[in-house]
C-alpha cells in the first residue's frame, strides 16, 4: 500500500512502484476520496457552496500532489494535436505545458468545481468515485500494453516483458463494483449507478483514445483517465435525477 501511496499521492515516501502496488489502487483512491469529501463537508459548514467547492478542489490537488493533473496536461498535449506517435510520446515526456494541456486542465477544474457546487456534501460519494477512478487505473494496467520501452509505470507490469495479466483487471472490476454499491447506498440507486458509470465512461474514453494514438498507456494516461473519470462521475451525480 505504501508503494501505491507513493505513486498516487505525495505520501508514502520515496518507494519504487511494483506490481504488488496495483491491488491497493482502489483502497488508496477510497482513502484519498474520503479525505477530500471530509474537507468538502467541513468547508460547507462554514462557507457558501461555491467557496466550499473551491476548497475541495484545492484539497484534492494537494492530496494527490497534482500528479493526476500533471498527467492530464501532458496527455492532452501529446494525444490531442496531429502528431506522429513517436512525437506524441516525446511531447508527453517534456516538462512544459502547451495550449492543449492548459485548456484541458482549466476545463476539468472548472467542471469539477461547478459539479461540487451543485451537490450536497457527501464524503462517502467522493470516496466511491475516487475508488472507482483508481480501479479504472488498475484495470488499464492489466488490459493495455505499455506504450513506451521504459518508464516509471513499467514497474507495475508483470516481470515477463510484454506479458499482460488479468489480475489488475480483476482488481479494477472488483473496485468498481464496490464503489458502485457504496455510491448507490449514499445517494440513490439511479444517481449512484450513473455516477460510477460516468467514471467508467470518462476513464475508458481516455484509455481507448490513448490506445488509438500511442498504442497503449503511460503514467500520464493513467492520471488523465482517473481525473476525467472522477469529473464525469461528479457531473452525473449532480444531474437532476
pLDDT digit string (tens) for 137-187? 888 888 888 887 666 666 666 554 444 455 666 777 777 788 878 887 788
- What digits encode the pLDDT tens for the residues 54-88? 999 999 999 999 989 999 999 999 999 999 989 99
Q: Where are the domains of the chain?
A: 2-147+165-237
Contact 18, 32 (CB under 8 A): no
DSSP H/E element including 24:
none
10 Å CB burial of residue 29 (0-12, 13-18, 19+) is buried
The rounded distance, in Å, linking the Cα atoms of 193 and 241 is 11
CB atoms within 10 A of CB 90: 12
% of the chain beyond a pLDDT of 70: 88
- According to the model, what pLDDT value does residue 39 have? 97
Radius of gyration from C-alpha coordinates of the chain: 17
Locate cell 493533473: which residue?
69
- According to the model, what pLDDT value does residue 52 have? 97
pTM across the whole model:
0.88
Amino acid at each position: 500500500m505504501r508503494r501505491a501511496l507513493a505513486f498516487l499521492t505525495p505520501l508514502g515516501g520515496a518507494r519504487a512502484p511494483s506490481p504488488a502496488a496495483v491491488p491497493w489502487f482502489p483502497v488508496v483512491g477510497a482513502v484519498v476520496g474520503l479525505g477530500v469529501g471530509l474537507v468538502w463537508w467541513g468547508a460547507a459548514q462554514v462557507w457558501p457552496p461555491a467557496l466550499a467547492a473551491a476548497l475541495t478542489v484545492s484539497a484534492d490537488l494537494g492530496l494527490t500532489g497534482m500528479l493526476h493533473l500533471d498527467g492530464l496536461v501532458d496527455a492532452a498535449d501529446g494525444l490531442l494535436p496531429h502528431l506522429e506517435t513517436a512525437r506524441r510520446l516525446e511531447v508527453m515526456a517534456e516538462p512544459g505545458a502547451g495550449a492543449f494541456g492548459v485548456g484541458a486542465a482549466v476545463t476539468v477544474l472548472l467542471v469539477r468545481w461547478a459539479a461540487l457546487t451543485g451537490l450536497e456534501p457527501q464524503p462517502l460519494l467522493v470516496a466511491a468515485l475516487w475508488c472507482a477512478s483508481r480501479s479504472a487505473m488498475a484495470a488499464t494496467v492489466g488490459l493495455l500494453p505499455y506504450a513506451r520501452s521504459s518508464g516509471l509505470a513499467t514497474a507495475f507490469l508483470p516481470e515477463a516483458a510484454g506479458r499482460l495479466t488479468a489480475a489488475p483487471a480483476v482488481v479494477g472490476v472488483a473496485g468498481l463494483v464496490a464503489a458502485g454499491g457504496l455510491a448507490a447506498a449514499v445517494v440513490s440507486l439511479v444517481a449512484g449507478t450513473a455516477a460510477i458509470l460516468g467514471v467508467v465512461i470518462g476513464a475508458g474514453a481516455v484509455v481507448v483514445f490513448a490506445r488509438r494514438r500511442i498504442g497503449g498507456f503511460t503514467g500520464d494516461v493513467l492520471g488523465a483517465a482517473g481525473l476525467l473519470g472522477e469529473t464525469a462521475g461528479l457531473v452525473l451525480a449532480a444531474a437532476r435525477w
